[in-house]
Structure 1
């Protein structure tokens, strides 16, 4: 069982500058401009408990010097000749004062003894969120928020977000990171690190625990159980920043050489931490949630139903049409390209250039239109366009990358498809209507795609044009013109 004498904690430090405060004016016992560097015996200070609360102590530098830095022995620090420390928990605390003179610096210390724990001094709203507060003296247990993006990340030192890398959900399975639990208890500021047998470490710190071995991703994991007598400090500075310090040898999450964590955000169900790895020059990040907490399932918003109607669609690429062209992984689409063969049947000055890319990323290069309505094929069911397929494309070689069911050959064809993209989303190909036409190279061909056989369908809200076939990585350059949806 932990004793309160081992506990350390600090609420916001109150700095009081001693400028002509009468009895509180520091009594200088040494010359701040002395020629020799100061020694420990030159560093002196007075300690005075508050008359109404002996757990609040005023410290006065009586050494002189141009700067006085204090370490209150409970994780909190301050600067100034007259400062105040707060000690909610009973115990002994070593207070250190460092003075700076023109000749150097020196440090000395005294022990402060706090006789009585005053739990009410711990009533801080953020500390209550971390621990569960005085009404939950068994503590509050946190775990890494593994199912959410950016539950772990890394960035440059001094930054405030994971600029280099943010983990996708469940990015570090099998490392121990997702099974470790961290309990913060208000009474005694106790910290329990339940590793469930395994911990996860940066590779630079393998000597911190015994029996480390390589984990997925090149870092280290180890079989390790934390000792029972761990504590934490919770500190707020004058700028409102909050810090947690875990007693050695404990830590939180991925170990990267530090036991001090800045709280970037804290709420009932979220704890965002930032901590720095000074050896490797990195800033690491974790987000945690209370053990057992489940993120609410957000129901996807139902899209507004599209009208079931029909309007004429057209684009001749010489003048502005009434459609918006969009590309799905397509390598290039130019809506105002010089006609490569301005001869009958197409003497237009401008046409559209369609480029199918090379490799696996371009298996399904599609051009598409979302007209903004469910197409009533009883009113308009015919799509017309002109196409030009140059002979300089390679229509014979088998692609190095292809789907298993594809022959891997660039096709001399134009495919027009109708999809239900609103209802089926990414699986709209499963209910598509498709018409494919083959054509000769090096000549403009006028094509007509008649979808009247699908007039019973009322869910088509996307028109797709695909040239050269699909499921293969062979590239191609093609041209289209005079697109229209007509009766």
Structure 2
């Protein structure tokens, strides 16, 4: 008992002592003197200005008055066009912040700055069409990944995870298009209606939901007429975009370190704004839309890998099924939009592409045999009355050996089951299933498919 009393008194003493915390000392707020900065033209061009915050030990955030911004004590800004620009610096310390504005004047135009290598590679330059559209480089290994922040001794590489070719195709990142314009440094992000984002940043995009692979998807319309800029901070170039737009996979930031910017490659690294235990950096590689070349055949793949094969039935609840797309069709696995007519939690969403025959297909592990089960059926949720094409092919025949059935869908915005009768079709020939909603109805909207089976 004496031992127990002694322990109790000791604990009370420790608790009493531990509760006596010092009040944190934030320090004085920075003054206007702390926000002073100098600026001068660089040797590169009188229109490239270097700015330096005179006070050390603080965080300096810049607005250059030309639509661009940066962070750091020493930064550069580019002004291709003459005029007056209001430059703003905001200095932060533990005690608060202060903002100081200064106006600078650029005497002459320097249009050669619009032909700098970075700008030409990103936009095509003034001698090109004035814009360039980029997409995620999905056909090569290493197009998306993650590593530690700060980087380890391994360097600026996605050492924790590096995506294989086409590995992330079900999360909608490959459908997005990013167009950088030379004119007014405009930027368009075209999304096909759905984007891919870090689950820690899901609150930034209302309506987000779990992605079929990992992290989240969210509805987002095209972001048109935003802006881009490239700035140098402490000797490092960063690309940033404005508004709700972003590039690739959203992780709470719109600022991307440029690892490589060439005519046919844009490689980026960006720090996750929300992850802290551990801190993360994401990696992304893009290529121009339509680019088929391979810059480095040593560490890339030069053709699409063999397609994964599946077995019927398919219901999207457990197995992640990767459909292939035809003529700008898009597809992803999403939450069921109408559980009243179909109890499945997950279904396939596919948006009609630009052609009559835009659709999706999968290859099957075994060739179809209709001697006993004579039909193929599936559930369809259609935005319009349409003809739905169910087609079976010999995958090795280059689309020359096939049987197709057209099914009329007359009910809209409601789940219905459709069935194609393949009675009498030869066994042992067909191992590809093609599904084309909205036949001869290009760009007709989003369709949902589920419960594909042979009966």
Normalising to structure 1: TM-score of the pair? 0.46
Larger radius of gyration: 1
